[in-house]
Amino acid sequence: MTNQSKEGAFYQRDRGWHPPAYTPPYKTSVTRSPTKALISVDSTLSEIAGPVFNQNMLGELDNDMIMNFAQPGEMAIGQRIIVYGKVMDENGKPVPNTLVEVWQANAGGRYRHKKEGYLAPLDPNFGGCGRCITDEDGNYRFRTIKPGAYPWPNGVNDWRPAHIHFSIFGSGFGQRLITQMYFEGDPLIWKCPIVGAIPSKEAVECLIAPLDMNNTIPMDSRAYKFDIVLRGRRQTLFENRMEGL
C-alpha cells in the first residue's frame, strides 16, 4: 500500500511479494535483473515530497479514451468499458489528488507507436492513453475500450493477455507505481510468462479487475473495478522492476 510513517519515510517494500528480478521464462528479465547485490538507502527529501497535481492540468476528455483521440463525429472501435477504483495506502486511507495515467493496446491488440510489430490494424480514432486525478476520497474513473490480446516475441507462441498499464504517482516520487491491470475470466492470464514470474497466486489476483455489473451503464458500457495500493507489504505489484522507479 502506500503510506508514510510519522517520520515521513515510506514503508519498506516486502520483496517476497514481488516477482524475482531474474526470471528466465520472461526473457527480458535476464538482462534487466541486477548483477550485484542491492543496497538499501534512506529515502531522500525529493522522493518523499511532491509532486503536486490538480484538476486544472487535465483536458476535458483526458479520462475518456473512447473520444479523446477521435475525429469529430467518430469514436474508438471496441467493447466500451468503464474502469474505476480507489488508490489507497497501506492503512486503507485514500490517496487524494494523485495523477493516474493509463495506456493500452486497441481492441485488436495493437499499440500506436513506431516500434509496434503486430500486424493488427490501427484504429484511427483511438490513441491508447489517458489520465485522471483521484478525488478527495482517492477515487479515479475513466472510460475506454477493452484492449485485445497480442503475441510477443518471448517464446515460440507467447501471448499477452488483455491488459491496461497504470502509472500512479502517490504523494511522493518514492511512491510511484507502474503496474498492469488484467480482466476477470481471461484464460491467457495464467499462460503469460510475465504473470508466471509472480510467486503468489494471491498477488496475481490483486492485478485482476472483476466485472462489476452494478456500475455498468445499460446499453452502453460494462464496468471493471481495480483498487490500487501503494508502497507497503500489500502493495499492488510493480510491472517489471522490484525497486520501482
Please identify every residue annotated as catalytic. Answer: 111, 150, 160, 163, 165
Residues 6+ apart with CB under 8 A from 211: 183, 184, 185, 222, 223, 224
All residues at 6 or more sequence positions from 85 whose CB lies less than 8 Å from its CB, including other chains: 139, 140, 209, 225, 226, 227, 228
82 phi/psi in degrees, rounded to 5: -110, 135
Q: Which amino acid, one-letter code, is at 38?
A: L
How far, CA to CA in Å, does 45 sit from each of 42, 58, 98, 140?
A: 10, 27, 18, 27
Give CA–CA dist 21/40, Å, rounded. 16
Give me 163's grid cell: 491488459
User: DSSP 3-state assignment of 133?
Assistant: strand
Helices (H) and strands (E) in the chain, counts: 4, 11
Is 169 in contact with 176 (CB distance < 8 Å)? yes
